[in-house]
């Protein structure tokens, strides 16, 4: 999976685009990327730094990414990364 660091404003635009399938937050982005690879996700993961993962993730989840079941963040209100995957899931595990 390719990655690209962008601004939070860019993420807000990307999550609305066709092909944006998942949004989330993490303090361990490399670990999360490996998890998504194992689940069969391919494409590009766009990420941005944030001072409040819960608040930033909530903004992304309001756009209802295709593969997100939750509509509110359960991330802690602390610094980390927020991300959007643009691509798809190509195998089930």
Q: What is the distance between the terminal CA atoms of the chain, rounded to a whole angstrom?
A: 17
E strand or H helix at 39: helix 29-39
Q: Extract the tokens encoding 69.
A: 């079941």
Please, what's the b/e burial string for 21-34 (b: 16 or more CB within 10 A of its CB; e: otherwise)? bbbbbbeebeebbe
Helix (H) or strand (E) holding 42: strand 41-50
Its domain, for residue 84, covers: 2-89
* Residue percentage of the chain with pLDDT more than 70: 98
Instruction: Please give the tally of structural domains in the chain.
Output: 1
Residue 52: per-residue pLDDT: 98
How much of the chain, in percent, has pLDDT values that exceed 90?
87
């Amino acid at each position: 999976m390719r990655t690209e660091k962008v601004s939070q404003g860019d993420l807000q635009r990307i999550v609305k685009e066709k092909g944006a399938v998942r949004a989330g937050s993490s303090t361990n982005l490399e670990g999360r990327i490996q998890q998504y690879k194992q689940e069969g996700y391919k494409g590009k993961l766009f990420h941005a730094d944030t001072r409040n993962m819960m608040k930033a993730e909530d903004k992304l989840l309001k756009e209802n990414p295709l593969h997100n079941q939750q509509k509110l963040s359960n991330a802690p209100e602390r610094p980390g990364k927020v991300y959007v995957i643009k691509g798809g899931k190509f195998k089930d595990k």
